[in-house]
Amino acid sequence: MRRGLIWGGGLVAALAVAFVVFLRPVWVPAFDGAPYLSVGKKYDVRVLRDTYGVPHVYGTSDADVAFGLAYAHAEDDFATIQQSLMTSRGRLGLVDNYSPRLLNGLTSAVGLGAWFDAPGADPAITDYLVRLLRVRERIEAGYEREIPAATRAVLDGYADGINLYAAQHPDRVAAGFTPATGRDVAAGFVFFTPLFFGLERHIRDLFEPTRQYEVSTGEGGGSNAMAVAPRRSADGVTRLLINSHQPYAGPLAWYEARVKSQDGWDMAGGVFPGSPFILHGFGPKLGWANTVNTPDLADVYVLTVNPANANQYKFDGAWRDFERADAEIQLRVLGPIAIRVTREVLTSVHGPVIQRPHGTYAVRYATHDKVNQVHEYYALNKAQNFDEFAAALKLQATPSQNYTYADAAGHIAYIYNGVFPVRDAAFDWQAYLPGDTSRTLWTQYLPFDAIPKVVDPPSGFVFNANNQPFTASDPADDLKPEAFSPTLGIETRATNRGLRLAELLSGDPSITREDFRAIKFDKTYSARSQMAEVVAELLAHDFKGDALMTKAQAVLRSYDMTAKADSRGAALAIITALPAVVPTFAGKPRQDAVPLFHKAATLLMARYGRLDPTWGEVNRFRRGAIDEPASGGPDVLRAIESSFEPDADGRFEARKGDTLIYFVEWDKDGKVSAQSIHQFGSATLDASSPHYADQAPMYLREEMKPVWLDEAEVRQHLEREYRPGRP
């Protein structure tokens, strides 16, 4: 016992010395909110909360509305907004106490393993990535040049709304938080948008023990969206489904809002924490839904370093100096005390540089030279017809995302949006590129008019569910792969959701409102899906008399190929197939399902005492006091997904999938109406609020609530009205 105390005291002393000598402590100043307590006087805005707690924000100017939107969202989820802002600053390490991670690193280094629970991604890595991509430097260089003054005014209004809330609630403000600015808001878009097309995967691959791809020689996350035009609907109505699949919580979780200004900004839809604009939604004249696409928009270059001078790399036959800078990362460890860690950041003509034992690499990606993503979203929010909508996309500031579009005039469209580099076709752009030649250094983008799109097809419908763009409508209206260069790296995958949308929409020549909704909530795996392939392979496999696996095969043989809550066999099939097919989403081979099948069968027997518990018994939706069976699953149109790591009670808790859903209609006269549902409610973090889980029962029953668009309607269903920062 005494030896342990002495050893423990020695460890504490060593840590204290290391803390003072090597880690450079710094005192983090507290946020001074006093100057922002009266900022509300600058803005003419009213927030009307309806009986579901959804904020309807009315203002004179667009900046007024942005101020009110930020304040209302902060009331429900300030912690996540703050997290997003600190991320864009490269200061996420100041939000939470870093001591458990630091101590875990030290104890692991001496063979003692982790002593503390430190969930989530390491904020130091995120902060380093912000520095590596030079997010703040790019914002400082391009903010006023690329973003018009009117857009900057909206960003400033949004920042002031956050600052007012922070000033009024200093106990909720993290150490190191300083007043938010419009630059912070723009920086969040600069940092987060490339992550949607997989930039972090390219960087992560470089940190593997060995090089992941050959070098070219120069020789030869899921969502649903569909739109139906009047010619295809049974009643002449234009229909749009907005149905992004996102995490239930965190910086990429949807928040529902309605905004309207006297300057013509009039939208309802979803925003992420830290976003001043509706990211996808609708207005009186038009609407759109986003789904993630994954074209090849990032390249990794292998650099040749000068053996006589490690500060240089070869390019076009000459040695060039790396651009060098020091990146300081601050990590809070105790109250207002943080430690400073400095890492060198290198940049080449290609972009950020990463040095590894297996080589020196540079990364270049689409829109690395742009900071005006926020302006494009603002232009989309203000568009009044398809031409204005397309003009916003022609800014080519948003690097990826599919758009499914519909409007009051009955137009529909599918746009495979991407900012595609113009590349030399002699190289294999799926491999790593030689970094010593300007032949691989692309500097231009494909014009918007040349990217894949289907506009007003004769079939009268378009859709996307993260599937390839060459299946987006009726086969007669689909795009042809050979019409597009292979250097674009367009995905060729077929998701089950895409297969089902094609089957269901093509098979219904006169789509009613009820048909449209039934398609969205479909829970079936197509006979052409990877799920069906896995099941067929397992049924054909010879398990050589293994009693458990023979019984498991019998369960699969009677499986109805759905993810309904009462389906028996769904648990066995889904728990087996999901990890088998996930690698294919990144273009890798499917895993062998046989060992996964055995693992799933063993798990179900251990947890449930049988191989065929109902899917709802296994797949659970939990929120506050709610713990209910969830009908739906991975890669079905009714998407409810877990991490597939069972909780302590052996259940799988739904954590992502269907979140904010909209059904939007424009009637024959062009009048818009809509219904929506959120998986939780407007109070995304406040467990004491009546709106913490008030929509969850409806969500589980697949019921919708009305979206009140006229102020008179809102007032008939008004919970409260207020003016942020004013009496």
CATH code (residue 578): 1.10.1400.10
Query: Is residue 465, in this structure, part of any structural domain at all?
Result: no
Q: Which residues are CB-contacts of 277 (< 8 A; sequence separation ≥ 6)? A: 154, 271, 374, 377, 378, 380, 381
Cross-strand pairs, 619: 652
pLDDT score at 221 = 56
pLDDT score at 341 = 85
What range defines the domain where residue 590 resides? 530-636
User: Closest by alpha carbon to 535, among 493, 567, 498?
Assistant: 567
Q: What angle do CA 9, 13, 14 make, to 5 degrees?
A: 115
Distance (Å, rounded) from C-alpha 707 to C-alpha 226? Answer: 19
Beta strands 55-59 and 255-261 are parallel
pLDDT score at 485 = 95
Query: Is residue 551, in this structure, part of any structural domain at all?
Result: yes
pLDDT score at 107 = 57
Cross-strand pairs, 318: 315
Look up residue 21 and give its two tokens: 């000598």
Query: Is residue 589, in this structure, part of any structural domain at all?
Result: yes
Q: Which residues are CB-contacts of 494 (< 8 A; sequence separation ≥ 6)? A: 467, 468, 471, 528, 529
First-residue to last-residue Cα distance in the chain: 63
Query: Is residue 495, in this structure, part of any structural domain at all?
Result: no
Q: What is the mean pLDDT of each run of 10 residues along the chain (727 residues)?
A: 33 41 72 95 98 98 98 97 94 82 60 59 86 95 97 98 98 93 96 86 84 70 90 98 94 96 98 96 98 95 97 98 92 83 93 95 96 98 98 97 98 98 96 97 97 98 97 97 96 94 97 98 97 97 94 97 97 94 82 96 95 96 95 96 80 93 98 98 93 98 98 98 95
Distance (Å, rounded) from C-alpha 518 to C-alpha 374? Answer: 35
* Number of residues that make up the chain: 727
Query: Is residue 540, in this structure, part of any structural domain at all?
Result: yes
pLDDT score at 99 = 73
pLDDT score at 1 = 30
Query: Is residue 569, in this structure, part of any structural domain at all?
Result: yes
Handedness of CA 144, 150, 155, 156 (dihedral sign): positive
Query: Is residue 430, in this structure, part of any structural domain at all?
Result: no
Distance (Å, rounded) from C-alpha 654 to C-alpha 676? Answer: 20
Three-state SS at 433: strand
Residue 362 in contact with residue 350, Cβ under 8 Å?
yes
The secondary structure of 516-556 as a DSSP string is HHHHHT--BPPTTSHHHHHHHHHHH---TT-HHHHHHHHHH
Query: Is residue 610, in this structure, part of any structural domain at all?
Result: yes
- Overall number of domains in the chain: 1
